[in-house]
Amino acid sequence: MDFKFDLNNIDSAAGKLLRMFPENRIFAFYGEMGAGKTTFIQALCRQCGVEENVTSPTFALVNEYKDRTREKIIFHFDFYRIDSLEEAMDIGYEDYFYSDNMCLIEWPEKIAGLLPEETRRLKMEVLDTGERQLRIL
């Protein structure tokens, strides 16, 4: 299953994904550099009520965001720069992945062996038209 979107309707696409999988809380985003993973995660966070600035945690590995009520926590991971599973283990990935909070993961292929079974895997691609295609794997 997949759907297409562009930056003009990215918030709508993010809302659609959340409605398609209301019970899922761990989403792994696969795709080349520049495919739009971070931009889509920003839209997901907006749809979840996050008002603060959402940026890629490339060097920190994980950022934490709260919705406007300060009750819902979303963890945003970027594993692009890690060289080993031990680095993910060092940040205590289990505390995040096995919490009841939403986890949005960029470059999950770097930690494939650590992803929980219930992880919803998604592939982002840039089409020749400039649109993005989100494929649910």
Rounded to two decimals, the pTM is 0.94
Query: What pLDDT is recorded for position 124?
Result: 97
Is pLDDT at 80 greater than 90 in this prediction?
yes
> How many structural domains compose the chain?
1
**Summary mean pLDDT of the chain:** 94
For position 40, which CATH number holds?
3.40.50.300
Query: What pLDDT is recorded for position 117?
Result: 95
73 alpha-carbon distance from chain centroid? 13
Domain assignment of residue 93, given as a range: 2-136
DSSP 42-109: HHHHHHTTB-SPP---TTTSEEEEEBTTS--EEEEEE-TT--SHHHHHHTTHHHHHTSSSEEEEESGG
